[in-house]
Amino acid sequence: MLRRNMSDLSSVSIPPPPPSWRHVGRHGVFPAAGHDDTARFDFLANLNSLLASEVLPRVRDAYERRAVPAYTEAHGHPPRDRREAHEALKGERLWQTFSALRRCSMEMRQQTGRTLVLKQLPELIAKAHAYNEGASTLKLDPTIEQPRYASAVDIHCMPGGYHAELVPDDVSAGANYDSGLFATTAGMLGRFSDGGGRAVAAWLKREYPDFRPRRILDVGCTIGHNVVPLAQAFPEAEVIAVDTAAPVLRYGHARARSLGVHNLTFMQANAEALPFPDQYFDLVTSAMFWHETSAKALPRILKEIGRVLAPGGLTLHLEQPQYTPEMPLFEQAMRDWDAYYNNEPFWSVMHELDLKRMLLEAGFRGEDYFETTIRALVDRELFPEAGQGQEDYGRTPMWIAFGAWKRG
Ligand SMILES: C[S@@+](CC[C@H](N)C(=O)[O-])C[C@H]1O[C@@H](n2cnc3c(N)ncnc32)[C@H](O)[C@@H]1O
């Protein structure tokens, strides 16, 4: 199926291979890796790249040439929305192959990360402990319960999600998340997988040079990939990052400390009930967070953000693009893949919400709402080729940033 005939070959431009995992950014708590670990991650990155650049265009072709006509004949009309486009694709052998391989790559990514991390877990815990012990900037609260939407399934096939504790003081979920992201994103988020946060910080400095937040909150921070650049960009600010899951907070705190970041507190808290006074923060952010919440939680969290934001403050969120009537149905169906096959149950519903309306319902004003496009800032010296890969509807480093200022 993947074999090309000679006439095909002349017209194909082969994208550069993704950077090797050996370039991943290392810090004081990053897992030690040998040849075989690197080879497994490199295999994954290349498999994903192959799927995006070689297989996906053929799936699109098969959708147009075979799946849509077959669906139209069976239903009397072509697919009218992304769910019908998904139905049309399901009968297509090429799509089944693509989907099975992509699911395998997700499972492999988790097993590769866990193999790396679990064989050195006592050492990783000791390393994290050395940074975390006695630090007032790590605040864990064992009474915090995991929301059902975060624990009912293994989110994106990650065994135990973000919160499972295999042993006391566990950091394995954080170390696994950190080590695999560079491979699944093919290095396009930069060595430290922080291209989103770096891009947000640069955007804020460029668009609002006089904005000097004194207190910053990041909700659903995981290990802090995208809040560390904000803490670095605003060194005078007090920055607090909250998450419900202790293993990622322990790891994230140690990671930030080892990167020399000291104005950032990691706190175990539920964003649906933020433990802060009204009007406490000047900036409230999130990155790739909303699609992992729920239809009930999302408006509650936005209300909480409105409450803790000071007048004149800004709330700003990075997410994958929303579905719009202008987005081709094939692209919508492919972006929806994660909802069906990668344990992202809220993905599909979240990406059709009217975000502006959600913010209005949380108390913000329509004229203060904005949306813009943010592209990850990548380490160009190390990865001149990064970011020029093929669109794969979900893993390219292009997001919408949406949010609102709060009136003074
Ligand atoms: C996709 S990850 C976010 C990635 C992260 N923001 C980054 O920049 O890399 C979603 C995170 O949200 C956390 N989470 C989910 N529901 C939450 C809630 N109600 N309050 C706080 N954190 C939550 C999860 O534990 C998980 O770590």
Which is the closest atom of ligand 1 to the Cα of 196? 8
Does 185 sit in the ligand 1 pocket, CB within 6 Å? Answer: no
Length of the chain (residues): 408
What strand order describes the sheet that includes 309-319?
138-139, 264-268, 238-243, 215-219, 281-287, 309-319, 398-405, 369-375
Sign of the torsion formed by the C-alpha atoms of 343, 345, 348 and 354: negative
Alpha-carbon distance of 249 to 259, in angstroms, equals 15
CA distances to 21, 184, 397 from 400, in Å: 27, 20, 10
Instruction: Give the domain ranges of the chain.
Output: 30-408
Whether 225 is in the pocket of ligand 1, judged by its Cβ within 6 Å, is yes
For a pocket test of ligand 1, which of 244, 347, 399 has the largest count of ligand atoms closer than 8 A to its C-beta? 244
- Expressed in angstroms and rounded, the spacing between residue 386 Cα and the centre of ligand 1 is 26
Q: Which residue has the tokens 């900036």?
A: 283
Task: Indicate the class that CATH gives domain 30-408.
Answer: alpha beta
Would you say the CB of residue 222 lies under 6 angstroms from ligand 1?
A: yes
pLDDT for the residue 381? 60
* Residue among 185, 230, 243 to mutate when testing ligand 1 (max atoms within 8 A of CB): 243
The whole-number mean pLDDT for each consecutive block of 10 residues of the chain, a chain of 408 residues, reads 37 68 96 97 94 94 97 98 98 96 97 98 98 98 97 93 97 98 89 93 96 98 98 98 98 98 98 98 98 98 98 97 95 96 96 97 96 79 52 63 93
- pTM of the full structure: 0.94
> In sequence order, what are the residues at sequence separation of 6 or more whose Cβ sits closer than 8 angstroms to the Cβ of residue 100?
none
Query: Could you give the 3-state DSSP secondary structure of residue 223?
Result: coil
Span from the CA of 243 to the centroid of ligand 1 (angstroms): 6
Query: Residue 265 forms beta bridges with which residues?
Result: 240
* Residue 50 and residue 295 in contact, taking contact as beta carbons nearer than 8 Å: no
In this structure, the strands spanning 238-243 and 264-268 are parallel
Please state, as a whole number, how many other Cβ atoms lie within 10 Å of the Cβ of residue 155.
21
